[in-house]
């Protein structure tokens, strides 16, 4: 069974909405091309940074939860480093408790969403 990981990256706020979506699509495709299964993708939108990074005080946040082999992580982070659209990134391996918590949180969020007709 493949390990599960969670990666969050912050894109520069000077990107247009279309460019931000293109960047997210690039990394989703990268994961798929390297044999990973994206379990959950969450766009957190434009948020204020805790401290300025490259003289920027805000950034577009995006989270991926995915299952895959460990060797993909080093390739993914190398790709992150080379992308000038990203300010910061972090990837963590999830243990069974974190996986259960994420599933519980997602099902709870789905129940809260109003039904659209």
pLDDT of residue 105: 87
Assigned superfamily of 3-112: Ribosomal protein S6/Translation elongation factor EF1B (3.30.70.60)
Q: What are the residue boundaries of the structural domains of the chain, listed by start?
A: 3-112
The beta-strand segments (E) located in the chain are 3-11, 37-53, 56-68, 86-93
The predicted model gives 6-10 an average pLDDT of 95
CA angle 15, 28, 47 (to 5 degrees): 40
Which pTM was predicted?
A: 0.85
Q: What is the pLDDT of residues 40-95, one digit of tens each?
A: 999 999 999 999 999 999 999 999 999 999 899 999 999 999 999 999 999 999 99
């Amino acid at each position: 069974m493949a390990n599960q990981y969670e990666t969050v990256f912050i894109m520069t706020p000077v990107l247009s909405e279309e460019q931000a979506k293109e960047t997210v699509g690039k990394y989703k495709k990268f994961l798929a091309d390297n044999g990973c299964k994206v379990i959950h993708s969450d766009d957190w939108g434009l948020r204020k940074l805790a401290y300025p990074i490259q003289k920027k005080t805000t950034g577009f946040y995006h989270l991926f939860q995915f299952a895959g082999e460990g060797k993909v992580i080093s390739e993914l982070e190398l790709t992150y480093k080379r992308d000038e659209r990203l300010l910061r990134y972090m990837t963590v391996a999830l243990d069974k408790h974190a996986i259960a918590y994420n599933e519980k949180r997602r099902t709870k969020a789905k129940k809260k969403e109003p039904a659209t007709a």
